[in-house]
Amino acid sequence: MSILVTGGAGYIGSHTCVELLKEGYDIIVLDNLSNSKPASLDRIKEITGRDFSFYQVDLLDRDGVRTIFRENEIEAVIHFAGLKAVGESVSIPLHYYHNNITGTLVLCDVMEEFGVYNMVFSSSATVYGTQEQVPLTENLPLQATNPYGRTKLMIEEILRDLYISNSKWSIALLRYFNPIGAHSSGLIGEDPNGIPNNLVPYITQVAVGKLPELKVFGNDYSTKDGTGVRDYIHVVDLSIGHLKALDKVLTETGVHAYNLGTGCGYSVMEMIKAFEEVTGKEIRYQVTNRRPGDIGISYADPAKAKEELNWVAGKGLLEMCKDSWRWQSLNPNGYEEESRLGLEIGVR
C-alpha cells in the first residue's frame, strides 16, 4: 500500500516525500508542475536512495486521477496540491476557487470511488483571518480575509461534511503557519516562479544578488516595529508533522484540525536582521504599501498538536535561516541545471 502525495514536487511536498521515504513508506507523487520543478523529484531520490512513481496529472483531470488509483494500491492521501499566493488570489479569485476547490472535489470523489478514506489536508493559518487574540487556537471562529484563505476554509467545511455523510472518512486538517528553511543537504528547497510571494525566498534572493532589494509590505501595523509578525516554522519540522498526522488518520476516523507552528512570532524587520547575521550581508529593502488581504499578527498555539499528535517543532530561527541560505547559495537559480555548480558563499 502506498501514500499518494498530491503536489509532491512542491516545496512542502518534496520535504514531506523525503520524510515519508525515510520512514519506509512507499509513495506516489501527483503534480501538474505548474509551480514546481521535476528536478525536485530527482533530488528526493538522491537524498533518500529510494525510487517512487510520478504522475504529471492535474487534479482537475478526473480521468488522470482515476488512472492513478486504478494502477496503484493507495492507503491514504496527503493533499498539498493547490494555488497558494494571497495577493494573486485577490487578483484572480475565480481561478483560485475553481482550481483549489474543484480539484479537491475531484480528488475526494475518486477516493470514495476506490474506497480510500484517509486524508491529511494542507490547510493554512489564513483560515483564522484577523483575530482579536494571539496565539491562535483551533477553536477560534474562522474568517478568512482573502480568496486563497477562503478556498482553504471552504475545503475544510467540505471535508467535515464528507465525514458527516460517511463516517469511514479520517481527515487531519493541518493549519500551517509560515514554512521556511530547506533540507540540510541543500538539495531541495523553495524555488518560486518569478518574484517570490513569501518573505524568506525574497530575502535570500536579495542576499544572493538575484533581486536588487526586498519589498516590505507595510510598516504601519500595530506591532513592535510596524511590520507584520508571523510564526515561522522549519519545513522539515512541518513535514514531520504530516507523518504524525498520517499516523492518526490511519488508526481512527473523524475530522481533526491542528495548528503546525512554533508558537513564536517574528516581525519582518527581525527576519531581515536574522538573515543579515547568518549571511554576513546587508539585506537592502524598501517599504511599500500593504498587500491586499494581509494581516498584522499571526502566530500559533501548537498545544493541541503536541497533545494529540505528539508533535513539537524542534528547529530554531537561526537554523531555519541557515538552511534557507544554504539552499539558496548552492542553488542561486533554483532547480535549473547550472545551479548545481553552487557559489562560494558561507553560512555563519
Residues marked active site are found at: 148
Helix axes 62-71, 103-113, angle to 10 degrees: 40
For the CA atoms of 11, 17, 19, 21, what is the dihedral angle to 10 degrees? -160
Instruction: Assess contact for 198 and 178: CB atoms under 8 A.
Output: yes
Report the 3 state secondary structure along 258-309.
EEECCCCCEEHHHHHHHHHHHHCCCCCEEEECCCCCCCCEECECCHHHHHHH
Instruction: Assess contact for 266 and 230: CB atoms under 8 A.
Output: yes
Which strand (E) or helix (H) includes residue 3?
strand 2-6
Angle at 180 between CA 178 and CA 186, to 5 degrees: 165
Dmax (CA) for the chain in angstroms is 57
Pick from 84, 56, 78, 101: which is nearest to 2 by CA? 78
Neighbour count for residue 91 (Cβ, 10 Å):
11
Question: 185: Cβ–Cβ under 8 A, 6 or more apart, which residues?
Answer: 47
Instruction: Assess contact for 257 and 123: CB atoms under 8 A.
Output: yes
Question: Read out DSSP for 50-116?
Answer: ---EEE---TT-HHHHHHHHHHS-EEEEEE--S---HHHHHHSHHHHIIIIIIHHHHHHHHHHHTT-
Return the residue matching grid coordinates 513508506: 25
For 324, which DSSP code? H
